[in-house]
Chain A
């Protein structure tokens, strides 16, 4: 039986390759060679600010915090195919699809200085994640599988903030985008998505009518969209749940913030640290109900020291507003719940 699987895979790969059209994106996405430049995909017309009309832009109601970077997200699906969804609202993309996400900071002159564009490619054998770093002239971006750091300064809350922005390496892409060792998209869950072009949303609902019945998830920073509890949990799910999940990179912690936790301890409430080391900051519990200052979760979110900071990747500055939300959530917990 164990011989059958590679057999099938090899055959599927052969079929997929022969089926590739003359669309440059189809060839670039199919692999196995990783294109050296982003332009090989044809997603952008000579610059990050000019996405191809073939791309479907989308936004997230509650996004992952990445050092205050602005993000532009797109979906590419092959001609003649359709996005589907499972019963939980998780979008299903046909083989040959790509998810494309650009990261940048507002330029002093207006517009966005895009630093990097990450692509998730749905190949026949599974998803592949690749980071591309834009050249100084902004005309194309180069594959940087080893990642890099780019110093940036940007305005935030009336001050200039400087960070050593981290472009993840290919393995780090997988660290977050991993479920049971396989690469998976994280963001595209219907209830957390918004489509600037209404026709895009309509087309997806037409294909999967049950999506229309799903309630949108709260926006973490908009109290009209959900209770404090709901918004805090949604923030944790988006910012922490990709690793802190039973099949994720932090499975060994027993701290599950992806919505799967059934008891208080698995959510961190009254839970003692396991492998936190000095990140415990002399505190006893991940979440001490009613006491944000006594909660390791807050301490780690407020730190930028790599040995302490959570999330481990993609954050070198503190998300003050996110911390404030979780502080309020913990402060509101009755202190006798454990």
Chain B
């Protein structure tokens, strides 16, 4: 290769690995906000910041970002508002499909479908965002507030989500996940980790949802076998909003008044939480009790450990078939912790909280809960080695410092 060609290729190579000097693209609300903001999200180059001014952006369609290493930043969740109440198309308010994106300091209101979705978006940061359906809990609200899916390294920090007709914060089919310092209010599920691996959910508040924190695994999905989830240091209280999910959705089966619900997951730790004022129960561990045909799917929860949680009142109004009868037999109240018995005694959760815990004795996951044969669960004397903490790549932590 001649020297001149070498120089050319070298220069092209540098251009490829070094982003051009980062710039800020400012966008204000007002006339033509939809097209101006969408064009900014398309024109942005890696390293750029799309800065949203304070005010209400009245949007007519979904927005999307497909450029790596872009930060979208407003002036705060109460002053920079992406208002999707006039949305005419797209399944979500904002869709992110690129890597290393930081979203912070703005709000998404009243999107017709999901609030913010990120798909296949690795190392995404959601920070100080508000996603809200302002009419409160309504079946006509969108499904998920914050919705990362099929992604590796997901950090959700200091967000507020209200009104989702499925889950406020939903992480699906992802791995290496932290959800922290966030608040979920008046959603069907406050925070849900589904078909995901390696997640820490800590120091959040989940209140006035139907269920506070859910850890689920479902069949017939590309990623199954959800495992290694830690739920700790959260306040999960008064999740008594009547279930307003449209029937057919899996969360429509979450009994009103559920604190934490683990379904068909493996290696889940629940510790150091404050959990109470949940009318069905504070902690529920169950199998996937629907018919399914998927040889790769495991419907049984296993290796669930529970310790050092602070419980207050629970179980005065259990909202599942047979619950009232069991509560009556136990002196009027359902226990703070229960396991459906799925799979039999070798799957017994390890429980070290000082509250009554019960097995429904439903070894067969096809059995009706009304056929329960309740038996107390003894306090465990030891528990398995703890799961390691989830660590985010340093650049993600730096992005919010």
18 residue pairs from A and B, CB less than 8 Å apart: A10-B9, A145-B42, A146-B38, A164-B88, A172-B64, A263-B293, A264-B293, A275-B147, A277-B166, A277-B245, A281-B246, A283-B247, A283-B248, A296-B248, A306-B113, A307-B112, A312-B91, A312-B113
Cβ contact within 8 Å between A146 and B221: no
Cβ of B384 under 8 Å from chain A? no
Cβ of A313 under 8 Å from chain B? yes
- Rounded to whole Å, the gap between the CB of A158 and the closest CB of chain B is 26
Kindly list chain A residues whose C-beta atoms are within 8 Å of the C-beta of B36.
146
* Residues from 299 to 315 in A contacting B, C-beta threshold 8 Å: 305-308, 312-313
Cβ of A46 under 8 Å from chain B? no
Given A146-B42, A271-B220, CB of A278 within 8 Å of CB of B61: no
Could you tell me the dominant secondary structure of chain B's interface residues? loop
Kindly list chain B residues whose C-beta atoms are within 8 Å of the C-beta of A277.
113-114, 142-144, 165-166, 245-246, 249
- Rounded to whole Å, the gap between the CB of A308 and the closest CB of chain B is 8
Cβ of B140 under 8 Å from chain A? yes
Cβ of B158 under 8 Å from chain A? no
Kindly list chain A residues whose C-beta atoms are within 8 Å of the C-beta of B249.
273, 276-277, 280
Cβ of A225 under 8 Å from chain B? no
Segment of A51-59, A106-114, A245-253 engaged in the interface with chain B: A245-253
Cβ of B274 under 8 Å from chain A? no
Kindly list chain A residues whose C-beta atoms are within 8 Å of the C-beta of B91.
306-307, 312
- Rounded to whole Å, the gap between the CB of A77 and the closest CB of chain B is 27
Cβ contact within 8 Å between A282 and B247: yes
Kindly list chain B residues whose C-beta atoms are within 8 Å of the C-beta of A6.
13, 16-17
Kindly list chain A residues whose C-beta atoms are within 8 Å of the C-beta of B38.
145-147, 169, 171
- Rounded to whole Å, the gap between the CB of A165 and the closest CB of chain B is 10
- How would residues 149 to 160 of chain B score, 1 for a CB under 8 Å from any chain A CB and 0 otherwise? 110000000000
Cβ contact within 8 Å between A313 and B89: yes
Measured in the bound complex, the distance between the Cα atoms of B139 and A276 in whole Å is 12
Cβ contact within 8 Å between B9 and A11: yes
Cβ of B313 under 8 Å from chain A? no
Measured in the bound complex, the distance between the Cα atoms of B112 and A14 in whole Å is 46
- Rounded to whole Å, the gap between the CB of B273 and the closest CB of chain A is 26
Cβ of A222 under 8 Å from chain B? no
- Rounded to whole Å, the gap between the CB of B350 and the closest CB of chain A is 30
Kindly list chain B residues whose C-beta atoms are within 8 Å of the C-beta of A7.
9, 13
Kindly list chain B residues whose C-beta atoms are within 8 Å of the C-beta of A11.
9, 12
- Rounded to whole Å, the gap between the CB of A69 and the closest CB of chain B is 15
Cβ contact within 8 Å between B16 and A9: yes
Cβ contact within 8 Å between A145 and B43: yes
Measured in the bound complex, the distance between the Cα atoms of B90 and A263 in whole Å is 29
Cβ of A156 under 8 Å from chain B? no
Cβ contact within 8 Å between A147 and B61: yes
Cβ contact within 8 Å between A278 and B246: yes
- How would residues 132 to 175 of chain A score, 1 for a CB under 8 Å from any chain B CB and 0 otherwise? 00000000000011111100000000000000101001111011
Measured in the bound complex, the distance between the Cα atoms of B41 and A146 in whole Å is 9
* Residues from 260 to 302 in A contacting B, C-beta threshold 8 Å: 263-266, 270-285, 296
Cβ contact within 8 Å between A276 and B42: no
- Rounded to whole Å, the gap between the CB of A45 and the closest CB of chain B is 29
Given A11-B9, A272-B250, A277-B143, CB of A171 within 8 Å of CB of B120: no
Given A274-B218, A312-B90, CB of A171 within 8 Å of CB of B42: yes
Given A14-B8, A265-B293, CB of A171 within 8 Å of CB of B97: yes
Please count the residue pairs between chain A and chain B whose beta carbons lie under 8 angstroms apart in the complex: 171
- Rounded to whole Å, the gap between the CB of B134 and the closest CB of chain A is 15
Given A147-B35, A277-B113, CB of A10 within 8 Å of CB of B88: no
Cβ of B303 under 8 Å from chain A? no
Cβ of B207 under 8 Å from chain A? no
Cβ contact within 8 Å between A174 and B246: no
Measured in the bound complex, the distance between the Cα atoms of B38 and A308 in whole Å is 23
Measured in the bound complex, the distance between the Cα atoms of B39 and A175 in whole Å is 16
- How would residues 234 to 255 of chain B score, 1 for a CB under 8 Å from any chain A CB and 0 otherwise? 0000000000011111100000
Kindly list chain A residues whose C-beta atoms are within 8 Å of the C-beta of B333.
none
Cβ of A316 under 8 Å from chain B? yes
Cβ contact within 8 Å between B8 and A282: no
Kindly list chain B residues whose C-beta atoms are within 8 Å of the C-beta of A252.
119, 149-150, 172-173, 221-222
Given A6-B13, A275-B166, CB of A305 within 8 Å of CB of B112: yes
Cβ of A196 under 8 Å from chain B? no
Cβ of B141 under 8 Å from chain A? yes
Cβ of A84 under 8 Å from chain B? no
By CB atoms of chain A within 10 A, which of B36, B66, B144 has the most?
B66
Residue ID in chain A nearest B113 by CB atoms: A307
With A10-B16, A265-B293, A275-B149 known, 12 other A-B pairs at CB within 8 A are: A6-B17, A10-B12, A10-B13, A171-B66, A253-B221, A254-B221, A265-B292, A277-B165, A277-B166, A280-B247, A307-B143, A338-B293
- Contact for B34 among A9, A146, A254, A271, CB less than 8 A: A146
Residue ID in chain A nearest B151 by CB atoms: A252
Kindly list chain B residues whose C-beta atoms are within 8 Å of the C-beta of A265.
219-220, 292-294
- Rounded to whole Å, the gap between the CB of B172 and the closest CB of chain A is 6
Measured in the bound complex, the distance between the Cα atoms of B245 and A275 in whole Å is 12
Residue ID in chain A nearest B142 by CB atoms: A307
- Rounded to whole Å, the gap between the CB of A31 and the closest CB of chain B is 14
Kindly list chain A residues whose C-beta atoms are within 8 Å of the C-beta of B245.
277
Residue ID in chain A nearest B8 by CB atoms: A14
Measured in the bound complex, the distance between the Cα atoms of B60 and A282 in whole Å is 27
- Rounded to whole Å, the gap between the CB of A241 and the closest CB of chain B is 16
- Rounded to whole Å, the gap between the CB of A137 and the closest CB of chain B is 21
Cβ of A334 under 8 Å from chain B? no
Cβ of A209 under 8 Å from chain B? no
